[in-house]
Amino acid sequence: MLKWFLHKNVVLDLITTKSQSTTPKFNPLLQHLYSSFSFRYCSTTTTTSQSQSESDKHPFAVSYLINNFGFSHESALKAFNQKRVRFNTLEKPNSVINFFKNNGFSHYNIGIIIRKEPWLLSSQPHKRLLPKFQFFISKGVSSSDIVSLLTANPRILHVSLEKRIIPLFELLSKFFKTNKDVIFCLIRRSYGFSHYTYDRIVANINLMSAFGVCDSGIGSVLLIAPSIICSTDLIDTLKEVKGLGFDPSNITFGQAMIAKKGLSKKIWDEKVDTFKKWGWSDEAFFQVFRSRPNLMMVSIDKVNLLMSFWVNQLGWNSLALTKMPQIFSYSLHKRIIPRASVLQYLLMKGLRKNNASLVTPFSYNEKMFLSKFVFSFKGESDYLLKLYEEKMKLAYSEENNGMPLTK
The tens digit of pLDDT for each residue in 214-258 reads: 999 999 998 888 888 888 899 999 999 999 999 999 999 999 999
- pLDDT the model gives residue 181: 84
Find the mean pLDDT for residues 368-395: 94
Find the mean pLDDT for residues 260-283: 94
CA atoms of 359 and 45, how far apart (whole Å): 70
Q: Is-contact 2 9, C-beta < 8 A?
A: no
Residue 310 φ then ψ, to 5°: -65, -45
- Domain ranges for the chain, please list them: 194-262, 330-407
Over the stretch 296-346, which tens digit does the pLDDT of each residue have?
Answer: 999 999 999 999 999 999 999 999 999 999 999 999 999 999 999 999 999
pLDDT at residue 101 above 60?
A: yes
- By percentage, how much of the chain surpasses pLDDT 70? 81
pLDDT at residue 378 above 60?
A: yes
pLDDT at residue 29 above 80?
A: no
**Residue 356 in 3-state DSSP?**
coil
pLDDT at residue 406 above 70?
A: no
Closest alpha carbon to 343 in 315, 384, 309, 307 = 384
- pLDDT the model gives residue 399: 55
CA atoms of 334 and 394, how far apart (whole Å): 9
Question: Residue 13 contacts by C-beta under 8 Å, 6 or more apart in sequence?
Answer: none
- Alpha carbon 368 to its chain centroid, in Å, reads 34
pLDDT at residue 22 above 90?
A: no
Q: Is-contact 98 132, C-beta < 8 A?
A: no
Burial label for 218, CB within 10 Å (0-12, 13-18, 19+), is buried
CA atoms of 37 and 276, how far apart (whole Å): 64
pLDDT at residue 49 above 80?
A: no
- pLDDT the model gives residue 141: 87
Closest alpha carbon to 161 in 186, 184, 127 = 127
Q: Is the dihedral angle over the CA atoms 191, 193, 199, 205 positive or is it negative? A: positive
Give the β-pairing of 16-18 and 24-26.
Answer: antiparallel
pLDDT at residue 52 above 50?
A: no
Average pLDDT taken over every residue of the chain: 83
